Structure 1
Amino acid sequence: MAAPHIYKPVTTTASTCALETSRGKHVFKIAGYNLYKGHGVGRFIRSSTFFVGGRGWSIRYYPDGHAGNENRPFVSVYLELMDQKQGTAEVRAVYNLGLVDQLNGTSKVLFNPVVPKAFSRASPAWGARWFIRRTELEASSTFLRDDTIVIECEISVIVTMPRRVPMWRSSSRIRLSVHVVLATRSPVFKAELCGPLRDKERQNIIVEDMQPTVFSALLHFIYTDSLPSMDDLHRGENREFVKYLLEAADRYAMDRMKIICESILCKRLDLDNVAATLALADQHQCHKLKDVCIQFIISSNGIEEMMASQGYLYLKRACPGVTVEILEKASKSSKIEYTERSLDELD
């Protein structure tokens, strides 16, 4: 007699594969639509360069069509990778192209390829030869208004982090493989990698005195144009980490990253950290952050408590000129308040 079959519960496992993307949108306004008619088949007007996924892009507008007489009845629009000459690495992206309704501000997508396109030095531009028939565009009172059209492009760049970053690390030094994106995003990296003083024998660069986590965040910004998530950090740790990121951004002339860090720190001031934050702002020429810190100090009810803190003692030693500026502005503020009180008493 056969043994009874024993049913065992099925073990279920799951996994997820998800590509990281960096998304952006650019609006290209073309005033003087009729002036560009007759520009010539294959000739285009280019938008300003915008950055998504750490790469530069632009929109090409062909008023008389992309190429060939069969395209002449159409307006052509293409998306172009602008920094392809800096290297041969291709960039994969999904994008769509549309026209903006100038009455209600909505966008109508006219070209939406589903499959990602590979932009490279060999193929820097992809787009729609038959974007819209010219007669249809000119008959529209919403897309063509006051002799102006507005083209909108949404793009999602598939982010590929460099496979060999970092090659070797310690708490104070990071060895980094040469990568073209670094040179295109940071003038400091560009000088180190491509400048006349570079070491031609060296195939990598060494970053001194920076924590690996900070440099990893810098790389994340270079490739995605955004800061990494810091949700797992406590508020105090988060604030200190942003300070390190600001120092890194200033060191590598990453102006946009520096502005973002400034904005975050401006919103997280308190009596315990304002003096140290002010010293940081002064040392790295963060003028907006410096002004916000000084205004916070002179308008605070606990200014005496702040001036007794360790942060203020450090500020006096490291940035004596700033403490003079605080006292001068505080004095002026007191005089203004005193004058206002005197006028109130006279009334």
Structure 2
Amino acid sequence: MAAYQCELSSAIVAESEDRSFVFKVRGYSRAKQLLKCGECVTSPPFTVQGHDWVLRYYPNGRLATGAAAGYMSLVLDTADGKDVTVKARNISVLDKNGLPGRYYGTMFENIMFETPVSFTSRNSYLCLMVRKAGLEHSGDIIEDSFSIRCDLTLKDIGEQFVVVPPSDMHLHFGSLLESMDGADVAFLVGGEKFSAHRLVLAARSSVFRAELLGAMKEKTDSLIEISDMEPHVFRSLLHFIYTDSLPDLEIEMASEQGEAHGGDVVMASHLLVAADRYDIERLKLICEHKLCSHIDTNMVATSLALAEQHRCHGLKVACLQFLASPSNLEAMMASDGYQHLKRSCPSALKDLIASLLPVTMKAPKDIIMEI
């Protein structure tokens, strides 16, 4: 339908294999109203090095799950089904000035926040899920239209007599997690029992290694109780340990249960704490990245406290930059999280005050930091 048809324009940003494409979506509101979850609008094909590509736009998401309506999906795929090596350097919604705006996506499917991303198109695709509420409140939708920029590096790998499929190790370990064949350790978390494999946990976490194989080794027949953690958080932690990815279901469940309060952001906060507790650095960085992408006046105090307590430098800098705005600062001070921040992290408040002072006021900053 013409009212919400994708229009594609492209520009070559380098003479090598780098390309930049801009997709314009017109009729955002009508597309969201008329198309169901799983239904998409496909852009006209565009050709790079002899291969046709398309962008599939799902206004109400691809997955028929409870929280899918909160997201739209952008899927980049080949139209001709031939083998092409692809590296996506950046995907972003453009603001009113045509520049990459704030990041509203929640994940790259199968890859979780990683850029650049490499894959073989026949065996996979690139998917960006974008929270519709964030996009709609951003001001990036103009006259019911918005644009997406995708920066790609494309290289034709030519004819291949043997095609090596991408690694599916995570699928095997995911199956092991589901079946629990050979499980030799059990945990009790919030009244719920979880079975697992000592060697898998020990290989992924130095803390589990010490607890399960080292001097702190628990008895094989014992039930290890974990306090101060919710069962759904530990379930997601196990999923990441076995598959190196986060389960979409857990994020969507959190969103479904607390959409108005940023349920998926709360989940990221809990998982960050769990990742730090068990020394799983990549998961911690994924959660930190998500929190940096969803800073608002309701969550910034909590995020700043988390950053201080769990040594998240990037998140701390992002919070301090957000609070440099007087209106954001006042709103944060009126939030429930501010009282928690004052009680639990006075050092973070000192850093905040110091960051608000002019650069020339070095002496007052030094005094504040010594208090």
Amino acid in the other structure paired with 1:112: V
Equivalent of 1:219, from 224, 227, 238?
Answer: 238
Aligned amino acid, residue 302 of structure 1: N
TM-score normalised by the chain length of structure 1: 0.51
Q: Which runs of 5+ in 2 are unaligned?
A: 1-84, 87-109, 112-122, 124-152, 363-371
Q: Aligned pair 1:107/2:132, yes or no? A: no
**CA distance in structure 1 between the partners assigned to 2:307 and 2:227 by the alignment:** 22
TM-fit CA distance, 1:110 = 4.4
In the alignment, structure 1 residue 267 sits paired with structure 2 residue 317: no
Distance 1:201 1:270, change over 3 A: closer
Cα distance in 1, alignment partners of residues 154 and 298 from structure 2: 48
Instruction: Provide the rounded CA distance (Å) in 2 between the counterparts of 1:205 and 1:251.
Output: 16
d(CA) in 1 for partners of 2:246, 2:186: 22
Supply the AA of the counterpart residue of 1:252: Y
> Relative contact order (alpha carbons < 8 A, sep ≥ 6): 1 or 2 greater?
1
* Equivalent-residue separation in structure 1 for 2:154 and 2:337 (angstroms): 52
Partner of 2:76: none
CA–CA distance in structure 2, aligned partners of residues 314 and 220 of structure 1: 30
Q: Residue 170 and residue 185 in structure 1: after superposition, are their counterparts in 2 closer, same or farther (change >3 A)?
A: closer
Any gaps of 5 or more consecutive residues in structure 1?
A: 1-25, 28-51, 54-94, 96-102, 114-152, 337-347
Give 3-state SS (helix, strand or coil) of 2:168's partner: strand
Q: Give the C-alpha shift of residue 238 in structure 1.
A: 1.3
SS of match in other structure, 1:332: coil
- Quote the residue 2:227 is aligned against: 208
User: TM-score, with normalisation over the residues of structure 2?
Assistant: 0.48
- Number of equivalenced pairs: 200
- Structure 2 distance, partners of 1:172, 1:312, is 32
Deviation at 1:333, TM superposition (A): 6.5
Q: Which amino acid aligns with 1:258?
A: K
Q: Distance in 1 between matches of 2:330 and 2:214?
A: 50
**Fraction of identical pairs, as percent:** 37
Q: How far did 1:272 drift? A: 1.2
1:257 and 1:183 map into 2 onto residues whose CA distance is: 16
Q: Tell me if structure 2 keeps the 8 A contact 1:189–1:252.
A: yes
Partner amino acid, structure 2, of 1:231: E
Stretch moving more, 213-222 or 293-302: 293-302
**Residue in structure 2 matched with residue 281 of structure 1 by the alignment:** 307
Question: Which one-letter code corresponds to 2:216 in the other structure?
Answer: L
1:174, 1:206 within 8 Å by CA — same for their partners in 2? Answer: no
Q: Is the 8 A contact 2:305 2:341 kept in 1?
A: yes
Structure number with larger C-alpha Rg = 1
User: Aligned to 2:323, what secondary structure does the other structure show?
Assistant: helix
1:154 aligns with 2:166: yes
Tell me which residue corresponds to 1:23: none
Q: Confirm or deny: 8 A CA contact 2:206 2:278 kept in the other structure.
A: yes
> 1:171, 1:205 → 2: CA distance?
12
Query: Cα deviation per residue 1:111-145 (whole Å; 9 max; x = unaligned)?
Result: 337xxxxxxxxxxxxxxxxxxxxxxxxxxxxxxxx
Deviations 1:39-96 (A, max 9, x none): xxxxxxxxxxxxx99xxxxxxxxxxxxxxxxxxxxxxxxxxxxxxxxxxxxxxxxx9x
Q: 1:155 to 1:174 in 2, by over 3 A?
A: same
Q: How far has the Cα of 1:104 moved from its partner? A: 6.8
Corresponding position: 1:297 with 2:323: yes
Mapping 1:24-39, distance limit 5 Å: none
